[in-house]
Structure 1
């Protein structure tokens, strides 16, 4: 991780990143308790780590990383994303959007607001995504 990414991630944690990562972990724990939700829990834990340290990483479709389709990038992934959206995605996206609006009020908060908006999109459809270094 570059020094700039490290500094941005430290500011990020102080400006709303921690509580949104906690929301992702809470969603993962609830999904894991249901046993049926284990695939969503795995994706949620992975994106919780990304939400805690978003600078220096990016989310891309998993088939771009592996070069082949899998369960999460096919029709079952679409079904999984629809189920995720109904039970958890909309409120995580709403949390990111509210935080983005609050941060966008200040000039310093605009880059962090933009990161929250990108995370809101991921919150709606997380299945089939991979977190990779931005290099």
Structure 2
């Protein structure tokens, strides 16, 4: 089921979303001081490509620098990305097939708001 949802996600928005995160990551890597933002953007971009079967966890080594970086990220890009995810989720939730995609979009809001100090891992399978 995860594979099917990931393929549908990729076709109906995941590819464009990931490309946006990758372009933002490239732009952030131009200056040395913004490289951590670029790395976080690449990490979220990979998550945006294939979100089903993944989950976001806190890094145990995250400290005050991550908090300060997240505040800067929130002001510059995070709020706008979160709004875009919510608007896209509302549009996807119009159809029955789009409801799981809308849920995945809402699931991406916290990491779009504060990507530093987070890690994306495989979700545990329930069998």
TM-score, normalised to structure 2, is 0.91
Task: Tell me which of 66, 76, 80 is aligned to 2:65.
Answer: 76
Aligned length: 124
The corresponding residue for 2:89 is 100
* Aligned with 2:79 (options 86, 90, 94): 90
Aligned to 1:67: none
Listed as ranges, the gaps of 5+ residues in structure 1 are: 64-69
Q: Summarize the alignment of residues 1-135 of structure 1 with structure 2, pairs less than 5 Å apart.
A: 4-63=1-60, 70=61, 73-135=62-124
Please report the RMSD computed on the Cα atoms of aligned residues, expressed in angstroms: 1.1
Structure with the largest fraction of helix: 1
Gaps of 5+ in 2: none
Shift of 1:60: 0.7
TM-score of the pair, normalised by structure 1: 0.86
Deviation string 1:87-131 (CA, Å, 9 cap, x unpaired) is: 221222222112101001111111110110111221001111111
Question: In the alignment, is the contact (CA less than 8 A) between 1:50 and 1:57 conserved in 2?
Answer: yes
1:24–1:92 Cα contact (<8 Å) kept: no
Secondary structure in 1 matching 2:3: helix
- What is the DSSP-based 3-state SS (H/G/I as helix, E as strand, rest coil) of the residue aligned with 1:33? coil
After superposing on structure 2, the runs of 4+ consecutive aligned residues of structure 1 that deviate more than 6 Å are: none
* Paired residue secondary structure (1:90): helix
